[in-house]
Structure 1
């Protein structure tokens, strides 16, 4: 751990205040605390989870921790001990104070410091838990299509890894076009997902979302929407969809840990509507989430 002084200026747009915990202790906001040769930084060898915090309580934390374990196993990493993570979460949210009323919580586990190549050092590992205030997504969110694809046959397909550069590039393209999300196909030309969301499309009298075999992430909000819709008889299910469906669907929604279920106002400047079924999906998720803030796997 470095003892260098904290920088005096924050990066423009950085969330403040923030609370950060690294490998057993809270770290003053802005202080460097991760080894410069940590493989989460050097080669993106790590996994993470993000969940929203409401009134000081993280939503669906158990589901996020199970997915963290699956992602770590997919990379061949040892998942951090759950009791340690939960204790760190409590410390971070307590340190965040009143800002924890509406916050974003991120849990990151990497393979730890290593050489300047892809080889790992056995037994190394870094755990970071951080939280910062969460601004609500604005109404009228828009998305765009982009020319890049998800590789559904990748070694890391479906894993939530810190190797996020292709998402950063795609999201930057969306921001340049005044949108908040970019939607991607897979290599088979099927609809896959957004850079940080799952996508749900209205087709006929149903809401359809790509299956996990498309290469998309097994989103927690996606899982809960499918589960709760099945329990309450709402026609929401998985189905393969051509990417071109985004150009003709009357309604498109996004699901994510910070968006919950959010109807889009437009895709590629093509206006969209929100049907009674779409509104029912939004209402269902909000109602069931309010009833149980830690649904079990």
Structure 2
């Protein structure tokens, strides 16, 4: 099956109604979600994703769904989908509510879906003309209010790229529309600190842990260490760039703003490390 969708206890097809027309996730984007890669029919790092889902829900003021219920729904979806799917999405919304911003008092909505995925081993990026607000009420939360990311990715796609990179409001390198950023320079691979407003990515988290265990120089940057202007250094050949995300894992960036880049050796080492450790266990 190409797509399997489960919502609140039942399977639906892609052309069947799955949510109320006044579900707050639909009307105002009031919800949170997680996307996991699927490896051999199992969701990778599911426990970490479920913990982040609960953190995002709390940050939004939503009731976190019962973890056992979510795990059961995930298993039902993956059992029906088979081993060919590559992506799993878990979505929790505030449920049925008024047409305005105020929430209703009903239960949250839970939706789990699995479908195909075709990740690339390389990435191409452009710098976006907009910024991420690190002081936003939802900074660092994985919410369904994704319009900024949709617009940013469309901008990147129109320019031949598959990701757009964002600064924050004070000019620090922050993140991509759906990825964390890694900058290779001076013998280290650095990723922006969470205080920049970037998402605490699961791939980012695992890479930092695994690299520290194996002695690979990958670390979180200090608050002022990666200004957005560091991308000028990358373009000038004084650094390299990589992206990290749950579907792409770790990928070298081979083009920035239409200029070809040479991937760094640490980037390739991190990519190899991640691929190897994924094979070691499905729920690290």
Using structure 1 for the length normalisation, give the TM-score: 0.91
Shift of 1:288: 1.0
The answer to whether residue 144 in structure 2 is matched with residue 162 in structure 1 is yes
What are the superposed Cα offsets for residues 30-78 of structure 1, whole Å, 9 maximum, x if unpaired? Answer: 2112000000011110000001001101100000000000000000000
Asked whether the 8 Å contact 2:128–2:164 carries over to 1, the reply is: yes
In structure 2, C-alpha distance between the alignment counterparts of 1:255 and 1:178, rounded to whole Å: 19
2:279 partner SS = helix
Give the alignment partner of residue 105 of structure 1, picking from 74, 78, 88. Answer: 88
For 1:259, the equivalent position in structure 2 comes to 248
Shift of 1:124: 2.6
Aligned Cα RMSD in Å? 1.1
Query: How many aligned positions are there?
Result: 277
1:174 partner SS = helix
Q: After the TM superposition, which segments of 4 or more aligned residues of structure 1 sit over 6 Å from their partners? A: none
The answer to whether residue 33 in structure 2 is matched with residue 52 in structure 1 is no
| Alignment gaps of 5+ in structure 2 | none
Matches within 5 A, 1:173-212: 173-212=155-194
The answer to whether residue 134 in structure 2 is matched with residue 149 in structure 1 is no
The answer to whether residue 227 in structure 2 is matched with residue 242 in structure 1 is yes
In structure 2, C-alpha distance between the alignment counterparts of 1:20 and 1:267, rounded to whole Å: 36
What are the superposed Cα offsets for residues 175-224 of structure 1, whole Å, 9 maximum, x if unpaired? Answer: 00010000000001000000000000012110110000000000000000
| Alignment gaps of 5+ in structure 1 | 1-15
For 1:7, the equivalent position in structure 2 comes to none
2:128 partner SS = strand
For 2:20, the equivalent position in structure 1 comes to 35
Shift of 1:98: 4.1
Give the alignment partner of residue 88 of structure 1, picking from 73, 78, 85. Answer: 73
Shift of 1:266: 1.0
In structure 1, C-alpha distance between the alignment counterparts of 2:178 and 2:114, rounded to whole Å: 18
